[in-house]
């Protein structure tokens, strides 16, 4: 197995494109455990790509890698932002590109792991810089119902209105925010060819019935681990982190407007729907679909060709740099 390193070539990356691998998949497919095994086999580090694991706290609710897992394999962009800070795909891409660039300079091709497709798209450079989140506008939009938001989006950007996940309120709000702040349709910002696609991307998959069982078990385990107390201890929280699956139902449970059984069932349903949307998004991308139960050799071999491509790329630059 070729180790995913670009030895003695760190100085080249000031002019080189980003070099990284992607391991993607829906929630509860087993990304954390599999990614750690793959990263260790390839001798690399992990860069998180999860819209909610990027926040501090809510470790149980967001199913963050444990402390021991993060110490066994170095992780980046896990638990780094305060819950009050707003974050979108552009902000994530700025953070991730900085980390990937630094790792590349140190001779490392990292493994980007997650299930937030739009963040991955932004990392690829397929999403141009968008207006930063505006707290005042967000508060105004948050007062509207989802139906009202969709009506406004249809008026400002009919293309996005037809394509957007109508159950994803966070994404609807962001699309409207971009329309208002930029004065242009949100869809216009997405018509861009990726400038830094991954060397390779694999998509972990499981049979739907198996994934549903794993989701149900995860939600039950969260309650056993104390997720209600975790949510109860949270103070101020921003509109992005507020969209974490399960946060609102648990707050309703704490307030006494929802019983525990109904709360669990609602979270399971929301998570199943989210996993379905994730798979739909990723299947439209050029990802190699691999069963999550595949052997480590099979998983790493799917990415091994990329390490050879990276080393060939660096070798080519070195040859050019020393040629007369």
- What the chain holds in terms of domains, given with CATH numbers, is 10-127+195-322 (3.40.50.300), 130-191 (1.10.20.140)
Residue pointed to by tokens 């087993």: 30
What pLDDT, in 10s, does the model give residues 206-225?
A: 999 999 999 999 999 999 99
Q: Would residue 277 be called left, alpha or beta, if left means φ above 0 and alpha means ψ between -120 and 50 degrees?
A: alpha
Between residues 233 and 239, which one has the greater pLDDT?
Answer: 233
What is the rounded distance in angstroms from the CA atom of residue 178 to the CA atom of residue 164? 14
Six token digits for residue 96: 């991730």
What pLDDT, in 10s, does the model give residues 9-67?
A: 333 333 358 999 999 999 999 999 999 999 999 999 999 999 999 999 999 999 999 99
Judge if pTM exceeds 0.95: no
Q: If we measure between CA atoms, which residue out of 323, 322, 237, 318 comes closest to residue 9?
A: 318
What pLDDT, in 10s, does the model give residues 184-212?
A: 898 887 656 678 999 999 999 999 999 99
Share of the chain above pLDDT 90, in %: 69
* Rounded average pLDDT over 80-91: 93
| pLDDT classification of 135: cutoffs 50, 70, 90 | confident
Query: By the 8 A CB rule, do 311 and 6 touch?
Result: yes
Query: By the 8 A CB rule, do 54 and 123 touch?
Result: no
What is the rounded distance in angstroms from the CA atom of residue 309 to the CA atom of residue 108? 14
């Amino acid at each position: 197995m070729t180790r995913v390193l670009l030895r003695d070539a760190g100085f080249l990356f000031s002019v080189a494109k980003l070099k990284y691998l992607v391991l993607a998949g829906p929630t509860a497919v087993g990304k954390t455990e599999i990614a750690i095994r793959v990263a260790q086999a390839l001798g690399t580090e992990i860069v998180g790509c999860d819209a909610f694991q990027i926040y501090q706290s809510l470790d149980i609710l967001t199913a963050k890698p444990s402390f021991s897992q993060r110490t066994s394999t170095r992780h980046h962009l896990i638990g780094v932002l305060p819950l009050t800070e707003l974050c979108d795909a552009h902000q994530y891409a700025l953070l991730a590109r900085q980390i990937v660039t630094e790792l590349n300079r140190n001779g490392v091709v990292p493994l980007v792991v997650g299930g937030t497709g739009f963040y991955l798209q932004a990392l690829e450079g397929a999403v141009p810089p968008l207006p930063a989140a505006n707290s005042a506008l967000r508060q105004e939009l948050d007062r509207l119902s989802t139906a009202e938001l969709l009506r406004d989006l249809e008026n400002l950007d009919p293309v996005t209105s037809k394509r957007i996940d109508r159950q994803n309120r966070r994404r609807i709000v962001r699309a409207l925010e971009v329309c208002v702040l930029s004065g242009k349709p949100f869809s216009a910002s997405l018509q861009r060819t990726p400038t830094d696609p991954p060397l390779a991307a694999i998509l972990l998959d499981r049979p739907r019935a198996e994934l549903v069982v794993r989701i149900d078990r995860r939600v039950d385990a969260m309650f056993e681990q104390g997720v209600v107390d975790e949510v109860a201890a949270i103070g101020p929280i921003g509109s992005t982190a507020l969209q974490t699956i399960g946060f609102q139902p648990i707050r309703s449970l704490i307030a006494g407007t929802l019983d525990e059984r109904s709360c669990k069932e609602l979270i399971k349903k929301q998570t199943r729907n989210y996993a379905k949307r994730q798979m739909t998004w990723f299947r439209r991308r050029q990802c190699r679909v691999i069963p999550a139960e595949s052997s480590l050799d099979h998983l790493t071999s799917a990415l091994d060709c990329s390490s050879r491509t990276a080393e060939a790329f660096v070798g080519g630059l070195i040859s050019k740099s020393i040629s007369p």
